[in-house]
Amino acid sequence: MPRIVWQNLNLTWLAAAVVVLVLGLLVAGYVRSPLRGWRRVAALFCKLGALALLALCLLDPLWTRTQPKKGENEIIVLVDTSASLDVAEKVDGLTLASLVQAALTAGTDDAAWIKALGDDFRLRLMTGGSQTRSVPHFRSLEFNGTRSDFCRTLMTLRSGGSNLAAVVVVSDGNATDFAAWKAEAKGAPVFTVLAGEKAPENDFSIEEATVATSPFEDAPVTVTARVTGNGKATVQVLGEDKKVVASEKVTLNSKTPQTVRLRVPVAKPGVSFFQLAHQSEGQKEATLANNTRLLVADRGAGPYRVLYVTGRPNWEYKFLRRAIAGDDDIQMPALVRIAKREPKFEWRGRAGESVNPLFRGFGAKDGEEAQRYDQPVIIRLGTKDAKELSDGFPKAAEDFFAEFRAIILDDIEAAFFTREQMNLIERFVSERGGALLMLGGQESFRSGGYDNTPVGRMLPVYLDQAGSASPVLDARFNLTREGWLESWMRLRTGREEDEKRLATMASFYSVNPAFSIKPGASILATVSDAQNSYPALVMQRFGEGRVGSVLIGDLWRWGLHDEDSHKDMDRLWRQLMRWLVVDVADVVNFSTETDAADHERIKLAVRVRDRAFKPNSDAIVKIEVSLPDGTKAQLFAEPSLKEPGLFETEFFASKPGNYRAVATVEDAEKRTPLSSKTVGWTHDPLAMEFARLEPNRDLMKRIADETGGKMIALANIGDLPEMLKNIRVPVEVTLATPLWHTPWIFAAILLLLLGEWALRRKGGLA
C-alpha cells in the first residue's frame, strides 16, 4: 500500500517556523492590498500553499510503495479433473471439460493468463480428482476422476508454504468432500473459477436413495428414491442376481424432483445388496453415470430368542407357536404352568410319596429335586437343551440377558414371580434394552395384581383405575392413526384392502379394559362395543427397551373365523415378534460408519458384552471383509480408550462395489468363539460424483469469501493476472521516490504561484 515517509522529521520546527513567518508576512501584506473580496482570500491561500509545499520539502518526504517480488511468490493453479465435468449443459454441445481445457491452453501452448501469471509469480500447476498431482502443463488433461476431493486439498495447500500467495481452483464446485471444508484463519486466499452455469438438459438422475427394513412381510424392504428428469422413465430395483425385484413407471417434470417408493416383496434375513436403476424411455441423456445406485439392506439374522411365560395352557400360545414355526430366525422357549402350587397333603399321593403326581411323565426327578405339592407344576417347551430353564424362570442376569431378546407374559399373575425376578425383568428392559409384551387374560394387568410392581410400572397403561362398566361384548378391532403408520400392524400393501379386512374381522369377548395410557405411550389399535371404546394394543419406550400391551384375551378367535383370517392372524403374530426383537441389541453388535469427508474410509466398531450384558474388553475380535472382486481381507479390531467393550478398526474401500464383513469374537483366555455378526456396505464413488450436475455456485463463493479471495466465471479467467497483482504477498519489494524530486510537486508550486499572480492581475495589480 503506498505511503509517505518523512526522512527529516527533526527539521519539523524549522518548517513550522517558516510557515508561521511567511503566514505573518502574507497577512500583513494582503491587509494593505487593494484586492477585495474572494480574490484577496484566494490569492492569499495560493501563495501560502506554494510556500507550505516548499517548507514540507525540508522534511525530505519519500513516496514508498510495495509490489510483489518477481519469481519469489508462489501461486498454485488447481484444476478439477473429475468425471462430472465431462458432461455438456446442452444436447450435442461442448462438455465442461472441453471448455475448461480451452480456457487453460491456446493451441499447443499455455493460455495467455497462465503466461502472465508466470511473469510475476512462481507457478505450481496441479490437477485434482481422485488424487492430487503436480503436472508440468495443462495440455491434454483427462477428466476421469471418480471423486472431487478438492476441499481437503485446498485446506492442505493453503497452509503448505511460506511463499504461497494464492490458490486458484477451477471446478464446477461439486465437491464430494464438501462436508470437510473449513477455512482456517491463516492461509492463502483462494480464487475460485466456476465452470458451467446450469444443469444439463435432458438428464435423468437419482439424487438420493435410502433403504428401510420393516417386519412387514409383504414388503420387508422399502427403497425410497428421489429422481429427476423430464419425461417418462422406469425405476427398478435389482437383486444380487441382477433380476428385477421391484419396478415402477414414473412421469417426471424437470423442475420438481419426484419421490418414488418401491417395495421389495422378498428379502432374505441378514445383509442383502440391491441396485437401483433409473432408465429413461427413448431419450438421449447427458450421462448415464447418475442412473444407478448401490444399496444395502440389513434385516438382521437370528436366532432371535423370546421367552414365553404363561399361567396355563391356552389357545393363544398354540396359535402363536404355529405362526412362528415357519420363521427359522424366531425361537420361543416357553414356561407353561399346568398347575398352581397347593398345600401339601400326604394322602393325595401314594403312601409316603411327596412328589406331585401331576408331574409324572414330564421327566420329573426323584427325591429332593422333584417338584412338591406346594410348588407350581411347570413344563418347559422349545428349550435348546435339558439344562435351560430347568430351575424355572431365570433368577440371574447371566441366564436371562444373554439368552433372550424379549419376554412375553400371558395370563400369569404377579405373585408367580419373586421380587428379585420382577426387578430382573425391569432391568432386562430398561438397561439391557430388551422387549416386554404382556398379553390379555384373566390373570394379566390389574387382575393379575401387577399394580405397584416393577412390571406394572413399565406397562404403557395405568392399572390403578377400576372400572364399573359392564363386560365388553362383541368388540370390533380397528387401527388408530398411529397404528396405520406402523408397518408391522398392516397386513396388506394398500390401506383400502386392510380396511376391508378389518371390516370382516371376528369380534372379541375377553378384553382387559384400560381407561388411560401413560405419557409417551401410543395406542395402535382399539376395540369398540356398542357402548365404549378401549385400547387394544399399546406400546411405549421404557429406558433402553420397549414395552407392549395386548389387552385382548381371546385374539385366537380371529383365526377361527376362516382360513384367510387364520393366515392374517399368523402374519400379525410373526410381524409382532419381529418388531419386538429386531432392534434389540445382542451380546455382540457390529456397526459401520462412513467418514463424511473421506468416503473410502470405513470405521468398523464392534461392541462386546458378557452374559450379564456388561462391557467385555477381554476378547479377541477378528474381522473378515469380502471385497467386490471376491478377495478377502483380514483385520483385527483393537480395544478403544473411549468406551469399555468397544473394539475399533478402519478399512479403506478402494474398489467400487459391495462389501460384506464378518466379525468373530473369541474369549481372550479360553480362545473359544463367543459370537459372530455380519454387516455390509457399498462403495459407489461415481454415484456421489454425479449426484449433482448443476454447478455449485454457493460452495465456490463460500470458499472464496471465507479465504479472502474472489469467485469469477470461467469466461473471465483471463482477468486473473490483473486481480492477483493487487493481493498481499509474502515476499514484497519496496520502492521509494523522493517527493521533492517529482515533477508534480514543482508543477503544483508553479501553478499556485501563477494562480496568485493571475488573481492580482485581474484585480488591477501588476
pLDDT at position 282 over 90: no
| Better-scored residue on pLDDT, 749 or 177 | 177
Lowest mean pLDDT among 61-70, 384-393, 446-455, 648-657: 61-70
pLDDT at 358: 55
740 pLDDT tier (thresholds 50, 70, 90): low
CA distance 426 to 424: 5
pLDDT digits (tens, 9 = 90+) for 410-421: 999 999 999 999
**Averaged over 451-477, what is the pLDDT?**
85
**Averaged over 448-470, what is the pLDDT?**
86
pLDDT at position 765 over 60: no
Lowest mean pLDDT among 100-104, 157-161, 738-742: 738-742
pLDDT digits (tens, 9 = 90+) for 210-220: 999 888 787 88
Residue 408 host element (H or E): strand 406-410
- Extract the C-alpha cell encoding 361: 411323565
Cα-Cα-Cα-Cα torsion 225, 226, 228, 234, nearest 10 degrees, comes to: 20
Contact of 624 with 634, CB cutoff 8 Å: yes
Task: Residue 723: name the closest of 126, 124, 75 by CA.
Answer: 75
Q: How many CB atoms lie within 10 A of CB 302?
A: 16
pLDDT at 469: 63
pLDDT digits (tens, 9 = 90+) for 551-593: 999 999 999 888 999 999 999 999 999 999 988 999 999 999 9
- CATH architecture entry for 304-340+376-581: 3-Layer(aba) Sandwich (3.40)
pLDDT digits (tens, 9 = 90+) for 620-631: 999 999 999 999
pLDDT at 368: 46
Question: In the CATH scheme, what is the homologous superfamily, with its name and number, of domain 74-197+693-724?
Answer: von Willebrand factor, type A domain (3.40.50.410)
pLDDT digits (tens, 9 = 90+) for 103-127: 998 877 889 999 988 888 888 999 9
Which residue reads 465452470 in cell numbers?
A: 195
- Which numeric CATH code is attached to 588-684? 2.60.40.10
Q: Are strands 258-264 and 271-280 parallel, antiparallel or unpaired?
A: unpaired
pLDDT at position 718 over 70: yes
660 pLDDT tier (thresholds 50, 70, 90): very high
pLDDT at position 144 over 90: no
| Better-scored residue on pLDDT, 620 or 68 | 620
Assign 386 to helix, strand or coil: coil
Task: Residue 680: name the closest of 300, 153, 420, 372 by CA.
Answer: 300
pLDDT at 50: 74
3-state secondary structure 466-509: CCCCCCCCCEEEEECHHHHHCHHHCCCCCHHHHHHHHHCCCCEC
pLDDT at position 276 over 90: yes
With a pLDDT cut of 90, the percent of the chain lying above it is 46
pLDDT at 337: 92
pLDDT digits (tens, 9 = 90+) for 88-107: 888 778 889 999 999 998 87
- Extract the C-alpha cell encoding 454: 416393577
CA distance 238 to 244: 4
Parse the chain into domains and list their residue ranges. Answer: 3-66+735-762, 74-197+693-724, 205-298, 304-340+376-581, 343-370, 588-684
Task: Residue 192: name the closest of 734, 761, 707 by CA.
Answer: 707
Cα-Cα-Cα-Cα torsion 515, 575, 413, 557, nearest 10 degrees, comes to: 80
Q: Are strands 545-550 and 132-134 parallel, antiparallel or unpaired?
A: unpaired
**Averaged over 601-613, what is the pLDDT?**
93
The highest-confidence range among 58-62, 262-266, 425-429, by mean pLDDT, is 425-429
pLDDT at position 189 over 70: yes
Which residue reads 490437477 in cell numbers?
A: 127
Lowest mean pLDDT among 184-188, 486-490, 556-560: 184-188
- Which numeric CATH code is attached to 205-298? 2.60.40.10
pLDDT at position 67 over 70: no
| Better-scored residue on pLDDT, 266 or 30 | 266
User: Is the backbone of residue 497 left (phi > 0), alpha (psi -120 to 50) or beta?
Assistant: alpha
Lowest mean pLDDT among 78-92, 299-313, 479-493, 648-662: 78-92
205-298 matches 588-684 in fold: yes
pLDDT at position 634 over 90: yes
Q: Is the dihedral of CA 421, 427, 429, 430 positive or negative?
A: positive
pLDDT at 88: 85
195 pLDDT tier (thresholds 50, 70, 90): very high
Mean of the per-residue pLDDT values of the chain = 85
With a pLDDT cut of 70, the percent of the chain lying above it is 87
347 pLDDT tier (thresholds 50, 70, 90): very low
Burial class (CB in 10 A: 0-12, 13-18, 19+), 151: buried
**Averaged over 137-153, what is the pLDDT?**
87
Contact of 189 with 166, CB cutoff 8 Å: yes
pLDDT at 754: 79
**Cis peptide bond upstream of 628, omega within 30:** no
pLDDT at position 161 over 80: no
- Extract the C-alpha cell encoding 701: 463463493
CA distances from 540 to 404, 520, 521, 572, 609 (A): 20, 6, 4, 19, 26
Assign 275 to helix, strand or coil: strand
CA distance 271 to 298: 4
